[in-house]
């Protein structure tokens, strides 16, 4: 076995274990689990950290990643009432409402295998992402959906959106989450047909 193959096996095993642990702990997004399991069952591919898409209220206390925190996270359609209630709660800094698309990380053994994933991405109409790391035995792809929303809803303690507007925003976000899930299902079906 080549050095690259040994590396691939090790990395795949590590990510597989980490994934199954996350499922056990209930930390993995349910909707994406069968897709991840399928990819992990193939010989030349595995999944690393993934998210199926979500609606969030993100608190931003300043600049930089450490200054942001999740005030709320929903992986399914959410009711306006829940969002509005959460906006009214105590928060720090500014608060943004966001709908974030799925993000999937896939490891591939060779460049040829990685290109196979690129083909599948294109067939499934997934517009964003590509190979983000490439070394012998470790090709990592990141695929991202395109549905998204982002807007400020609160600056300091001041809610800057009206109730009527937010009702429409939540409706749109739920529509976008459904379109996101639709794309994910399409991707899963092409993966199951083409990735062996």
- Closest approach of its own copies to the CB of residue 120, in Å: 13
Q: Using CB under 8 A as the criterion, which residues of the chain lie in contact with its own copies when the complex forms?
A: 111, 114-115, 118, 128-135, 141-142, 144, 148-152, 155, 160-162, 164-165, 168-169, 172
Comparing CA positions, the residue from 114, 87, 67 lying closest to residue 170 is 87
Q: Please state the separation of Cα 12 from the chain's center in Å.
A: 20
Angle between helices 163-194 and 80-88 (to 10 degrees): 120
Nearer to its own copies, 40 or 146 (CB): 146
Token output for 66? 């450490």
Nearer to its own copies, 33 or 179 (CB): 179
Contact 129, 121 (CB under 8 A): yes
Name residues whose C-beta falls within 8 Å of residue 191's C-beta, 6 or more positions apart in sequence. 35, 38, 39, 120, 124
Task: Pinpoint the alpha helices (H) of 93-162.
Answer: 111-123
Nearer to its own copies, 39 or 126 (CB): 126
- Closest approach of its own copies to the CB of residue 65, in Å: 10
- Closest approach of its own copies to the CB of residue 150, in Å: 5
Contact 97, 80 (CB under 8 A): no
Nearer to its own copies, 88 or 152 (CB): 152
Name residues whose C-beta falls within 8 Å of residue 78's C-beta, 6 or more positions apart in sequence. 55, 170, 173, 174
Nearer to its own copies, 26 or 64 (CB): 64
Contact 59, 68 (CB under 8 A): yes
- Closest approach of its own copies to the CB of residue 30, in Å: 26
- Closest approach of its own copies to the CB of residue 142, in Å: 6
- Closest approach of its own copies to the CB of residue 189, in Å: 20
Nearer to its own copies, 34 or 88 (CB): 88
């Amino acid at each position: 076995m080549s050095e690259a193959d040994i590396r691939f096996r090790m990395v795949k095993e590590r990510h597989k274990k980490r994934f199954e642990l996350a499922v056990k702990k209930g930390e993995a997004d349910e909707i994406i689990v069968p897709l991840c399991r399928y990819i992990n069952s193939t010989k030349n591919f595995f999944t690393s950290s993934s998210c199926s898409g979500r609606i969030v209220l993100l608190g931003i206390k300043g600049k930089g990643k450490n200054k942001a925190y999740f005030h709320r996270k929903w992986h399914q359609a959410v009711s306006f009432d829940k969002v509005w209630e959460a906006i009214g709660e105590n928060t720090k800094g500014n608060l943004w409402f966001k709908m974030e698309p799925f993000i999937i990380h896939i490891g591939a053994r060779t460049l040829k295998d990685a290109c196979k994933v690129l083909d599948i991405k294109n067939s499934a109409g997934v517009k964003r992402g590509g190979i983000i790391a490439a070394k012998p035995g470790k090709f990592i792809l990141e695929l991202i959906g395109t549905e998204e929303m982002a807007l400020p809803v609160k600056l300091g303690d001041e809610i800057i959106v009206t109730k009527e507007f937010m009702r429409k925003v939540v409706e749109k976000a739920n529509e976008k989450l459904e379109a996101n899930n639709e794309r994910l299902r399409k991707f899963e079906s092409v993966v199951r047909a083409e990735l062996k």
